[in-house]
Amino acid sequence: MSKRVLTTESGAPVADNQNSATAGVGGPLLLQDQHLLEKLARFNRERIPERVVHARGSGAYGYFEVTDDVTGFTHADFLDTVGKRTEVFLRFSTVADNLGGADAVRDPRGFALKFYTEEGNYDLVGNNTPVFFIKDPIKFPDFIHSQKRDPFTGKQEPDNVWDFWAHAPEATHQVTWLMGDRGIPASYRHMNGYGSHTYQWTNAEGEAFFVKYHFKTNQGVRSLSSEQGHELAGKDPNSHQTDLLQAIERGVNPSWTLHVQLMPAAEAQDYRFNPFDLTKVWPHKDYPLQRVGRLVLDRNPDNVFAEVEQAAFSPNNFVPGIGPSPDKMLQGRLFAYADAHRYRLGVNHTLLAVNAPKATTAHNYGRDGLMASNAQGRAAKNYEPNSYDGPVETGRPLAAPLAVHGHTGTHEAPLHTKDDHFFQAGELYRLMSADERSRLVANIAGGLAQVSLDDVIEKNLAHFHAADPEYGKRVEEAVRALRED
């Protein structure tokens, strides 16, 4: 069988791909060598801006299968029948490091899931922790700046990391998660995923429920100690990518069981703490986990750049039956995620194969822009309403409306009777075994002891004391011992 002919990007056959055209034997190169210039120019443009956060990622395709009836809580089409399967794409990531960073580091992990439903793509953007460091998006750029590379030293600085946390007492709960045993997952397969934010489900009768997602790994939770993480990151920076790729290639398909917590919307106002605060979890005794379905990954991407690097997740990609809540961090991300993709990939990034709907077709009046491939035919109109049978609105909202009242302004979140920055961090500490507590204290002290300002250390110690007296005392003693060495 004859081989296919190598061509230029315009389709012309390439005569010689080994030698550039020159002015005579051994002479200078010629500007007319279109093939050479095209190759060099494309090579210079092979990289796009990396994500500011979640730059280092891995991904896989699979399916979500409904195992339990949840139609009493949502009329989302992809959840309406037990046994129904929906194709998905899941991207895992570290948060703080750059694209070339190592996988086995102490950092939260992104857990971003795209459901290719028959009513459009539904994006669920979460982490491997049920909480986060902050609860207002106006602090997000400052938080990320404090965790990323310092503009002068070019590396992550404990002074910056802990100085921000010293001024953010609400971060104490997530810091306890991050510095605990689950701070370095052994692999992407061996960690849970969480929607983290509070979302809204609406049933066919219009009843609204607030919902939290929990994806429990069926492989079991496995994590690395700080020492194991450092060793693995040095030996194989791509450890988690390699593990995920090879497991699926072997047919060992990782899976997670989805559970949800559901709060009737009417209960949110008088709940003992703000249920939309991303730094807090809902106790399971108040809102037990209810099983929904099974997530399975069974196919690796063919091209990491095209499918993993260009995958674009936006939490504002809802489908009928699912919508937002008053969660401030979620509200900020409804804008920020989509805007990041418009910057990185262009306004037509939703036309890329990994981002385009698969179980339905997008019909809208978006036109033109960089890399447009959304031509609608000679007679198609690009405005609405029109008299030419263009797509029309349904008049049916995706979710129930959120009640609002009061005056506009830069308000702090309303306090509920038991709102507190430290109680849940203390609860998490008290749930830990003696060995887990010792490792947590050592991990915190190892970073905090490197901080140069005593005031920053004292502020952070005060947070741990407020969470639990033993917790604070042990961290304080460990920091003092390390600074005296």
pLDDT in tens, 285-335: 999 999 999 999 999 999 999 999 999 999 999 999 999 999 999 999 999
Residue 203: how many CA atoms within 13 Å on its side-chain side?
A: 12
Q: Are 328 and 413 in contact (CB under 8 A)?
A: yes
pLDDT at 384: 84
Identify the helix (H) or strand (E) that includes residue 120: strand 120-127
Structure tokens at 20: 């550039």
For the segment 6-20, the average pLDDT, to the nearest whole number, is 93
Q: Are 201 and 221 in contact (CB under 8 A)?
A: no
pLDDT surpassing 70 at residue 4? yes
**340-364 pLDDT tens trace:** 999 999 999 999 999 999 999 888 8
pLDDT at 402: 86
> What does the alpha-carbon distance between residue 158 and residue 163 come to, in Å, rounded to a whole number?
8
> What does the alpha-carbon distance between residue 231 and residue 225 come to, in Å, rounded to a whole number?
10
Residue whose C-alpha is closest to residue 256's, from 215, 196, 300: 215
Q: Which amino acid is at 42?
A: R
173 is catalytic: no
pLDDT surpassing 70 at residue 377? no
For the segment 160-169, the average pLDDT, to the nearest whole number, is 97
> What does the alpha-carbon distance between residue 83 and residue 480 come to, in Å, rounded to a whole number?
57
> What does the alpha-carbon distance between residue 211 and residue 265 come to, in Å, rounded to a whole number?
9
DSSP 223: B
Burial (0-12, 13-18, 19+ Cβ within 10 Å), 4: exposed
- What average pLDDT does the chain have? 94
Tell me the CA distances in angstroms from 4 to 9, 134, 218, one per residue in order.
14, 55, 45
List of residues 6+ apart from 269 with CB closer than 8 A: none
127 is catalytic: yes
> What does the alpha-carbon distance between residue 267 and residue 421 come to, in Å, rounded to a whole number?
21
What sign does the dihedral 414-418-420-425 (CA atoms) show?
A: negative
35, 54, 341, 463: the active-site residue: 54
50 three-state secondary structure: coil
For the segment 358-387, the average pLDDT, to the nearest whole number, is 81
pLDDT band at 63 (very low <50, low <70, confident <90, very high): very high
pLDDT band at 404 (very low <50, low <70, confident <90, very high): confident
Lowest mean pLDDT among 319-333, 382-396, 433-447, 452-466: 382-396
31 three-state secondary structure: coil
Identify the helix (H) or strand (E) that includes residue 263: strand 255-264
Q: Are 228 and 190 in contact (CB under 8 A)?
A: no
Q: Are 172 and 463 in contact (CB under 8 A)?
A: yes
> What does the alpha-carbon distance between residue 186 and residue 128 come to, in Å, rounded to a whole number?
12
Q: What percent of the chain has pLDDT over 70?
A: 99
Q: Which amino acid is at 456?
A: V
pLDDT surpassing 90 at residue 125? yes
> What does the alpha-carbon distance between residue 475 and residue 382 come to, in Å, rounded to a whole number?
62
> What does the alpha-carbon distance between residue 328 and residue 277 come to, in Å, rounded to a whole number?
8
> What does the alpha-carbon distance between residue 136 and residue 126 come to, in Å, rounded to a whole number?
16
> What does the alpha-carbon distance between residue 91 and residue 70 come to, in Å, rounded to a whole number?
26
Cα diameter, the chain: 85
pLDDT surpassing 80 at residue 379? no
35, 75, 121, 127: the active-site residue: 127
